[in-house]
Amino acid sequence: MKKKCCFVFASTLLVLFIMNAAGCGLSTEDIEEQVIADIESNWAEQGLEGVTIDDLTLVKKSKNEYRGILEISAYGESETVTINVMMDGDSFMWEIEDW
């Protein structure tokens, strides 16, 4: 009986550990930082100069989808645009609407 209780306890701990580890994804702030770095890298590859990112705020829309506001400065003027981000594990893609 004592072995059975220890097995149940150990099994429960293992399940809780796995559930906790699976739920420890990237925070919204981590995603924002990665998206900013990727956008800046993309713009540099395209030779886009004079445009900087002032701020990015994302809100989780669904399990793998974020929508947010991207504040940029371009050639001395500020602009706010909408951005959509799709996540798949550690991979993501972004799209800036109407810019």
Which pLDDT belongs to residue 2?
52
For residue 51, the cross-strand partners are 74
Domain segments of the chain: what residues? 26-96
Segment 5-29, tens digit of pLDDT: 444 444 444 444 444 444 557 899 9
Which pLDDT belongs to residue 46?
95
C-alpha to C-alpha distance for 95 and 12, rounded to whole angstroms: 42
Sign of CA dihedral 41, 42, 47, 50: negative
Q: For the chain, what is the mean pLDDT?
A: 83
- Sequence-ordered strand ranges (E) for 3-50: none
Which pLDDT belongs to residue 3?
52
- Find out whether 79 and 55 touch, Cβ atoms under 8 Å: no
Domain 26-96, CATH number (from 3.10.450.630, 3.20.20.70, 3.60.15.10, 3.40.50.300) = 3.10.450.630
C-alpha to C-alpha distance for 70 and 43, rounded to whole angstroms: 14
